[in-house]
Structure 1
Amino acid sequence: MPHRFLAIRAAWAGSSILAAAAIGLVAAPAAAQDNAGDAAAAAESEGQLDTIIVTANRRAESLQDVAVSADILDQERVGAVFSAGADITALAGTAPGLNVESSNGRVAPRFYIRGLGNTDFDLAASQPVSVILDDVVLENVTLKSFPIFDVERVEVLRGPQGTLFGRNTPAGIVKIESIKPTHDMRVAASASYGSFDTLSVNAAIGGSVIEDLVAARISGQLQKRGDWIDNGFTGRENSLGGYTDFAARGQLLITPADRVSILASLNYRDLDGSSTIFRANVLGATTAQPGNTNQLNDNYDRDRVFYDAGGGNIARYEQLGASVTGTVEFDGATLTAISSYWSSEGSSRGDVDGGFGAVFLPGGGGPGLIPFPSDTRDSLDLEQRTHELRLASDSDGPLSWQVGGYYFDSDFDVTTVGFTFPPPVTVNHTNEAWAVFGQLGYQLTEAVRVTGGLRYTDDQKNFFVRSGAAPQPRSVGDKNVDWDISIFADVSDDASVYAKAANSFRGPTIQGRDVAFFSPPSVAQSENITSYEIGFKSELADRRVRLNGATYYYTVSDPQFTAVGGAGNLVQLVNANKGEGWGFEFDGAFQITPRFLVTLGAAYNNTEIKDSTLAVGTCFQCTVTDPTRVIGGSTRALIDGNPFPNAPEWSGDLTARYGIPVGNDGEFFVFTDWVYLGETNFLLYESREFNAKSRFEGGLKVGYSGGNGEWEVAAFARNITDEDNVLGVIDFNNNTAFVNEPRVIGAMVSLKY
């Protein structure tokens, strides 16, 4: 793809111009990470909790000093979550209030924080949760799936983040910080092998290229699984479910002067695997429980499906991203310039109804009427560019500030092939946005700090049909001012409280997938959230107990929802009049002994759609429990009072690590982690079938670490209890669902020095 590399060169050239004027945010975070590492080592020797660093205010700070509800996944937790080759949806439940799911396999995940998200499965979908990798937004849904590897931490910032991070962050942010190059020689590698021929290999090497001038780091990850699901329709065994997912990152850090740094980064991904495995008519009553209609029924078999279409449910994607970050430190301020270019190109194809004809299993039992093969393929060809310039104070005085400007541009084609509805239809989406922003913080007294921010954004989108259908151009745009204000007070040496109010928006959206199915595109205007939050931060028992919590209330005016599926298999954007959400979050850590650490998180979230007239299409054969009315000859459900889709009321996570010293430099350890997601409604309307009771999953790792942590061997299990959890549904023309990953048991070895 020569044009991709030309675009990268152009992006890097533009970054170099910015760097020449500003020549990152590299030196400060690197120093913060080193200091955090020193503090962590000292804390462990004293049996205290590590200091947690966050960058919620675009600068490295202790979590205990920031007016934000956040949860942090460290390297050990991230390593455990992805040890069995999982994709980014494995983050679901790892932070209270966070849910992630996808009906597009290992691409196009959908994120939800505090119940606010978007169920739209189209490749042009917008979301109110932003994913940010090394200060660069990954806006398109396929970019959000870029694998997590060689990272320092993953920050889950809950609540509106629009002032510093821009539009499309009213629910929150998942912020990924990779490990940066240093002049110290560092090598890390790990490999695991488990059930279903699951292989996961990670490696990284970094160090000085030119002493005190140039440092580099190269890292990569290979995740692989063999096909393990039989196709009962064709009689072919082990025909579906496998994947090969390779990703790599190269970074170059140049420090031509003591107060100048340039960080260049190149990311690449190549995915070849199965898209989501849809399972026909698996929701409903069972022989054992004929009255229970929202569970996996007798048709469900994790190891077998019956596909007459889908072409093997193949998903192939190639992604490329480059960024340059330049930093110049002055007396009292730091100037940072960031430019990036990302591309994503690929497609996924699936047997969407998950079955065939009107017969599902030999001997009877069917998925209901399937009048045609529900075989579709969606393809994407995308380019995204961003530029940011930011000036921030770094003095120790009572006043802190930062100002900046931001530019975003994306251009992509989406091609939909409905194999029984030729010809293919290609539509084009463009999005151009720019913003200016600022934040002020002031230490009113020794114990009280006030922070406030503003951001002005101009967001414009255009849509047209490139081929395959009649021209149906659409244009939308909006201008908005986001704001936030918070007060943070230290009530003692060990405890603080805060209050925060914030306003943020998600820009208007155009959805054009329906053009491929003979319907016009739909448009949703901007949604705007106003959130109020109070919380506390505390470290007790000589920093052996950390208790953080928050309670919140928010309202969303004109919330954007997506009415997906239904008997017409359409994807239609709608705005409700209003939405409400309230709840609380708790994060705790307990250093019971120097080698026994327990973390515990929990969240309650209550959401409600408020619109007495909004009606959406319903399923073909499920049992709708909402009031209905006939509109335009079709039955519609009134959804006033319903919860937001994919918004479990309760969620939580638990981890525990216990180590037993062996000799002078060894340790036998046990690590376990568990996530819980409570009762969940999957769609805008409510039915007996399309919802889930509580779901949980756990992992276990048992091993031996030697050489003061330089090497490790371990056995592991993911989904150790082999739970069959429904993650989402398809309400087209049968009670179709997709489920979680199976249990994987394996062994792993790692080296680090």
Structure 2
Amino acid sequence: MKPTLLSITIASILFSGTASAEVGPEDLPSMVVSADFRPAAAQDIPVSLTTFDDTIIESRGAQHIEDVLNLAPNVNISSGASRGQYFQIRGIGERSQFSAPLNPSVGLIIDGIDFSRTGGAATLFDIEQVEVLRGPQGTRYGTNALAGVVNLQSKQATNEFDMNFESTLADYDTREIGIAVGGPIVKDALLGRIAVHTHQSDGYMDNDFLGRDNTQDRDEITARGHLKFLVSDDLTVDLNLLHLNIDNGYDAFSFDNSRSTLSDQPGEDKQRTNALALKSDWQINNAVSMQSALTYSKSDITYSYDADWGFAGIHPDEYIATENFMRERENVSFESRLISDEAGRIFGGSTDWVLGFYHLSQDEDLDLVSDFGNLQNEYETENTAVFGQLDTYLTSKLTLISGLRVERFSADYEDSNGLDLDPSETLFGGKLGLNYQLNADHMAFTSLSRGYKSGGVNNNDALPLSKREFDTEYMWNLEAGLKSSWLDGDLVTNLTAFYAWRRDAQVKSSIALPGGEFLDSLDNAARGTNVGIEFDADWLVNDKLRLFAAVGLLRATFDEYDNPELQAEGFDIEGRRQAHAPAYQFTLGGEIYLNQNWTLRANVEGKDEFYFSNSHNAKSGSYAITNASLEYQHQNWRVTLWGRNLFDKDYYTRGFFFGNDPRIGYADKAYKQLGDPRVVGLTVSYDY
């Protein structure tokens, strides 16, 4: 939308008549969570979870999952790219990927498609809700959910025609346009929806050597499609399509940790993805239904950077170094599960049940072109699992949940250095839990769950053969919580306490070598304990004020640590906090309904300092940032003035510690990637 048209639209809305409606909402929003076996209201699911709806997404001008994820307690995010693409829940999760294959600890699911290795795919236009499940989700998701799952659900086609148009202008030459249209193609038989969105920005870095302000630019196109076939009263078939064309720059690090770089060959962070999910829901009879899903995704990913962060003239030896990682990922999965209905309960009608089968095939090819040495590798993995869960109603108020998943993992790795490995293993995890419905407003729950993450491969040819493979990590998690509704539903609270034991924890170490290279490896180097509390509250005070708050407290430490390479360097993290595990996180905010048309929203969110890595002691520093929006809504139009990080606080999302600056003799120091600065924008949207 051009600025002149935008101005005319705003003026026509602001000077139009007001609508006749109540000032604020009558009830708090109730979200149905789809990440479990049976969709249910968030307050009825005995898991520590946080949900974001499209209202939160739109009020923050959020384009990517990184723009909202800090609202979830005990959830952190790591950049090391143009976007925050790596997630940590309760201190557990990967922080980057270079040449080695990646087995994630936190699952990322978009419309049923597994993107756990590809966090850049989590764009948010036409996303209806985001669900963050904390703790092992071994029964449901298996090896990709040791720490938890982030689940994105796009808006679905319905029998009613609807349209949404959205246009945004913001700082740093940011502009967005999106449109989504849905409704019946054949009434009561075939429904469809399509959404297309483009996001462009110069980014938040200045390259002083090249005289450019767009070397970390963002150029992202997202297209989603959905078809729903209402085949019969007993059979529904859904087809979800996703296309991503991400063409971002990457130029994030400077010698002085500022927003000004000197690189002569800025990097790229590109992704081309096509994906689909074909799902069916068949009511076989009044006792059993079958849900099946076939998914496919293919991604071409380019990740590159100027490894010396400078130009030839700044280096006495005219040292120049670049690295370019080009990956092709192809995933195919199939899942089918039988789910009982009330008439299909077993054991005298006391027990609901789920029984399922899952298979995932993933192929990843890497072509690394680097001044430190080239590498080509192929990494193929297969996961085959059977799983089941029983929900047994011991009394009218007490329910026993028992779940088990057995998974066979096998991999085949080959590279141009002659390494040929084929690890395989049988894994199992699950859950035992008790839910007690104290009354209609309060549910207490406790559970003991076992999560797992499969072993993998180290491909650094400087490592001895004995360290080329590492084993499975297991985690036991004991959890107890209380979900409550107060004041006739106007106040909702959730409290969870957890205690987790990590066994054979997979810990990444990185040792700087002469010449700018690193000795990177993953090893089962530690036993860890992750203990904490998560609390959130949502209070509709009256028809003019809504308040919300969330806090996460975390003590994540390594009880034992055995890493001879780092210990030989005089570095030992036994007893120290784990990386990307801040001791506290919080958010506090509210909504003021000024009148029938105007809504003011604001929140403060922050976190404690945290270590960037398990290989050094560089920290992020604690911080708090303030966000706000002012929304005007009239009939189908909505205008939102929003701002993120309003006080322009510097904070960091990734960090390293090594020598890279020739001006100080390549002395070791901390280098940090900055989070987004203050960004203010205006969004105009129309809903029909």
* Same fold, TM-score > 0.5, yes or no: yes
Distance 1:538 1:358, change over 3 A: farther
1:279 is aligned to 254
CA contact (8 A) 1:353 1:730 kept: no
1:264 is aligned to 239
Q: For residues 522 and 251 of structure 2, what CA distance do their matches in structure 1 show?
A: 23
- Please list the CA deviations of residues 13-32 of structure 1 after superposition, one character each: whole Å capped at 9, or x if unmatched: xxxxxxxxxxxxxxxxxxxx
Distance 1:721 1:143, change over 3 A: closer
Distance 1:276 1:454, change over 3 A: farther
- Please list the CA deviations of residues 704-726 of structure 1 after superposition, one character each: whole Å capped at 9, or x if unmatched: 1011xx21112111111111112
2:18 is aligned to none
1:67 is aligned to 46
Q: 2:128 aligns with which of 152, 175, 182?
A: 152
1:729 is aligned to 655
Q: SS where residue 64 of structure 1 aligns?
A: helix
Q: 1:503 aligns with which of 450, 457, 462?
A: 450
1:336 is aligned to 2:291? yes
Q: SS where residue 167 of structure 1 aligns?
A: helix
CA contact (8 A) 2:616 2:657 kept: no
Q: For residues 268 and 245 of structure 2, what CA distance do their matches in structure 1 show?
A: 14
1:30 is aligned to none
CA contact (8 A) 1:143 1:319 kept: no
Q: For residues 98 and 314 of structure 1, what CA distance do their matches in structure 2 show?
A: 27
1:447 is aligned to 2:393? no
Deviation, 1:405, is 0.1
Q: SS where residue 144 of structure 2 aligns?
A: coil
Q: 2:375 aligns with which of 425, 430, 439?
A: 425
- Please list the CA deviations of residues 276-320 of structure 1 after superposition, one character each: whole Å capped at 9, or x if unmatched: 5112243xxxxxxxxxxxxxxxxx3x2x21114xx3222222011
Q: SS where residue 396 of structure 2 aligns?
A: coil
- Please list the CA deviations of residues 590-634 of structure 1 after superposition, one character each: whole Å capped at 9, or x if unmatched: 1011242111100101011122532454xxxxxxxxxxx53xxxx
1:50 is aligned to 29
2:88 is aligned to 112
1:100 is aligned to 77
1:703 is aligned to 631
1:751 is aligned to 686
1:383 is aligned to 330
Q: For residues 159 and 370 of structure 1, what CA distance do their matches in structure 2 show?
A: 50
Alignment of 1:230-379 (within 5 A): 230-234=206-210, 236-282=211-257, 300=258, 302=259, 304-308=260-264, 311-329=265-283, 330-355=285-310, 372-379=319-326
Q: For residues 35 and 631 of structure 2, what CA distance do their matches in structure 1 show?
A: 35
Q: SS where residue 93 of structure 1 aligns?
A: helix
1:673 is aligned to 603
Deviation, 1:352, is 3.2
Q: For residues 371 and 478 of structure 1, what CA distance do their matches in structure 2 show?
A: 48
1:560 is aligned to 506
Q: For residues 91 and 677 of structure 2, what CA distance do their matches in structure 1 show?
A: 26
- Please list the CA deviations of residues 446-475 of structure 1 after superposition, one character each: whole Å capped at 9, or x if unmatched: 21111110110001111101x4xx311112
2:486 is aligned to 540
**Which amino acid is 1:504 matched to?**
G
**Which amino acid is 1:745 matched to?**
V
Unaligned runs of 5+ in 2: 1-20, 344-348, 661-669
Alignment of 1:577-588 (within 5 A): 577-588=526-537
Deviation, 1:273, is 1.6
Deviation, 1:127, is 1.6
Q: For residues 22 and 487 of structure 2, what CA distance do their matches in structure 1 show?
A: 13
Deviation, 1:223, is 1.0
Q: SS where residue 201 of structure 1 aligns?
A: strand
Deviation, 1:66, is 1.8
1:203 is aligned to 2:179? yes
Deviation, 1:661, is 2.5
Distance 1:593 1:615, change over 3 A: farther
Q: Name which of structure 1's ranges 475-484 and 584-593 shifts more when overlaid on structure 2.
A: 475-484
1:641 is aligned to 575
Q: For residues 253 and 528 of structure 1, what CA distance do their matches in structure 2 show?
A: 39
Distance 1:615 1:638, change over 3 A: farther
- Please list the CA deviations of residues 48-88 of structure 1 after superposition, one character each: whole Å capped at 9, or x if unmatched: 3222322343211122222111111111112234x164x33
- Please list the CA deviations of residues 481-502 of structure 1 after superposition, one character each: whole Å capped at 9, or x if unmatched: 2120111111223212111110
CA contact (8 A) 1:460 1:476 kept: yes
Q: SS where residue 172 of structure 2 aligns?
A: helix
Q: For residues 560 and 43 of structure 1, what CA distance do their matches in structure 2 show?
A: 54
Distance 1:596 1:565, change over 3 A: farther
Q: SS where residue 149 of structure 1 aligns?
A: coil
CA contact (8 A) 2:632 2:640 kept: yes
Distance 1:162 1:69, change over 3 A: same
2:112 is aligned to 135
Q: Name which of structure 1's ranges 260-269 and 54-63 shifts more when overlaid on structure 2.
A: 54-63
Q: For residues 33 and 297 of structure 2, what CA distance do their matches in structure 1 show?
A: 25
Q: For residues 591 and 43 of structure 1, what CA distance do their matches in structure 2 show?
A: 14
Deviation, 1:351, is 1.7
Distance 1:341 1:542, change over 3 A: same
Unaligned runs of 5+ in 1: 1-41, 283-299, 361-368, 618-628
Q: 1:176 aligns with which of 126, 149, 152?
A: 152
Deviation, 1:742, is 1.8
**Which amino acid is 1:641 matched to?**
G
Q: SS where residue 331 of structure 1 aligns?
A: coil
1:720 is aligned to 646
1:409 is aligned to 361
Distance 1:692 1:312, change over 3 A: closer
State TM-score, norm by structure 2.
0.90
Q: Name which of structure 1's ranges 114-123 and 199-208 shifts more when overlaid on structure 2.
A: 114-123
CA contact (8 A) 2:54 2:129 kept: yes
Deviation, 1:571, is 2.2
Deviation, 1:371, is 8.7
CA contact (8 A) 1:646 1:681 kept: yes
2:65 is aligned to 88
**Which amino acid is 2:424 matched to?**
G
- Please list the CA deviations of residues 626-647 of structure 1 after superposition, one character each: whole Å capped at 9, or x if unmatched: xxx53xxxx2512211211111
- Please list the CA deviations of residues 305-339 of structure 1 after superposition, one character each: whole Å capped at 9, or x if unmatched: 1114xx32222220110110011112122101100
Distance 1:217 1:595, change over 3 A: farther
CA contact (8 A) 2:62 2:68 kept: no
1:486 is aligned to 2:437? no
1:222 is aligned to 198
Q: For residues 498 and 659 of structure 1, what CA distance do their matches in structure 2 show?
A: 35
Distance 1:437 1:745, change over 3 A: same
Q: For residues 209 and 55 of structure 1, what CA distance do their matches in structure 2 show?
A: 25
**Which amino acid is 1:445 matched to?**
T
Q: 2:387 aligns with which of 430, 437, 441?
A: 437
State TM-score, norm by structure 1.
0.82
Q: SS where residue 491 of structure 1 aligns?
A: strand
CA contact (8 A) 1:401 1:438 kept: yes
Q: For residues 564 and 204 of structure 1, what CA distance do their matches in structure 2 show?
A: 45
Q: What is the aligned-residue RMSD (CA, Å)?
A: 2.3
Q: For residues 214 and 687 of structure 2, what CA distance do their matches in structure 1 show?
A: 37
- Please list the CA deviations of residues 25-48 of structure 1 after superposition, one character each: whole Å capped at 9, or x if unmatched: xxxxxxxxxxxxxxxxx9998833
Q: Name which of structure 1's ranges 404-413 and 477-486 shifts more when overlaid on structure 2.
A: 477-486
Alignment of 1:467-486 (within 5 A): 467=416, 470-486=417-433
Aligned residue-pair number: 648
Deviation, 1:374, is 3.8
Distance 1:231 1:556, change over 3 A: same
